């Protein structure tokens, strides 16, 4: 996972907020997502090095890096880090580890990781609290499986699609659905515009069962609301993933 310092510098001179026309209850939260597209025959080696990276951050008490790792069924490993302010975007995130571990040692470790994939990239993704549904008392604790629904759209349909997603949230609220979901929007670095809905569960089976229960609770009226959303998309994709605490890192709080 190479430093993205030069990439992030570009963000200082561009607008980072999502390009949709409807109002949000709060400003979106911004995340930097680094994705490695790992070759299937290199998965074991890659995970070994990813664990080595985390272990060295723990060993050397690295304070200026923190990430959540998500692996998907198609071989993607995504490293998600929250960006709190513009000043952070110009930080060389590997500097502290190189200083404490040694530049050559860090380089050798990352070179082993680079052997495992042919492509990687970065993008900014925005969490949209105004469109997400998180009812009172709902918790994702112990639910590390994820079902990601990508709703791609043409720019002309961005505002209308956002409105349609908001109507779905209103339906969930009115029917008192107990389980929630988070909505994200593509940002700088994305090739296409999309909304992404993330559904959590203890397992793929748990997510499927919860979805069936929701269908019953929402009733037949849900079909028209969901159709309004789907007809505004240019492409739909679903990807299953897993939150990986074993490959994630957060510095110890003192």
The pLDDT profile of the chain, 254 residues, written as one tens digit per residue, is: 444 333 333 333 233 333 443 444 556 789 999 999 999 999 999 999 999 999 999 999 999 899 999 999 999 999 999 987 556 666 788 899 999 999 999 999 999 999 999 999 989 999 999 999 999 999 999 999 999 999 999 999 999 999 999 999 999 999 999 999 999 999 988 889 999 999 999 999 999 999 999 999 999 989 999 999 999 999 999 999 999 999 999 998 76
Question: Distance between CA 113 and CA 121 in Å, rounded?
Answer: 14
Report pTM. 0.86
Q: Of 187, 2, 1, 4, which is closest to residue 91 (Cα–Cα)?
A: 4
Question: Distance between CA 153 and CA 130 in Å, rounded?
Answer: 19
Q: Where are the beta strands (DSSP E) in the chain?
A: 29-38, 68-72, 76-83, 117-127, 145-152, 182-186, 194-201, 235-243
CB-CB contact of 149 with 197 (8 Å): yes
Question: Distance between CA 233 and CA 74 in Å, rounded?
Answer: 23
pLDDT (0 to 100) of residue 93: 83
Q: Of 122, 85, 92, 71, which is closest to residue 242 (Cα–Cα)?
A: 71
CB-CB contact of 128 with 28 (8 Å): yes
Please, what are the domains in the chain? 26-123 (3.30.70.100), 128-241 (3.30.70.100)
Question: Distance between CA 7 and CA 188 in Å, rounded?
Answer: 10
CB-CB contact of 166 with 104 (8 Å): no
Q: Cα torsion for 92, 94, 100, 104, to the nearest 10°?
A: -120
For residue 141, give the 3-state DSSP assignment. Answer: coil
């Amino acid at each position: 996972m190479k430093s993205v310092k030069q990439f992030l510098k570009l963000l200082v001179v561009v607008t980072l907020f999502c390009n949709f026309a409807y109002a949000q209850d709060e400003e979106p939260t911004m995340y930097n997502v680094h994705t490695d597209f790992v070759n299937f025959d290199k998965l074991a080696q890659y995970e070994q090095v990813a664990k080595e990276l985390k272990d060295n951050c723990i060993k050397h008490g690295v304070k200026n890096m923190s990430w959540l790792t998500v692996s998907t069924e198609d071989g993607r490993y995504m490293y998600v880090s929250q960006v709190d302010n513009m000043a952070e975007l110009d930080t060389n995130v590997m500097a502290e580890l190189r200083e404490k571990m040694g530049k050559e040692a860090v380089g050798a470790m990352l070179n082993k990781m680079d052997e495992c994939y042919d492509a990687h990239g970065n993008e900014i993704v925005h969490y949209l609290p105004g469109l997400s549904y998180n009812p009172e008392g709902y918790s994702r604790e112990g639910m590390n499986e994820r079902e990601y629904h990508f709703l791609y759209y043409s720019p002309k349909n961005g505002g209308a699609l956002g409105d349609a997603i908001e109507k779905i949230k209103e339906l969930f609220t009115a029917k008192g659905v107990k389980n929630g979901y988070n909505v994200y929007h593509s940002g700088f670095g994305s090739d296409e515009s999309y909304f992404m809905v993330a559904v959590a569960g203890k397992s793929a089976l748990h997510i499927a069962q919860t979805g069936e229960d929701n269908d019953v609770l929402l009733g037949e009226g849900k079909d028209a609301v969901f159709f309004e959303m789907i007809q505004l998309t240019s492409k739909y994709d679903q990807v299953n993933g897993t939150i990986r605490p074993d490959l994630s890192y957060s510095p110890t709080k003192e």
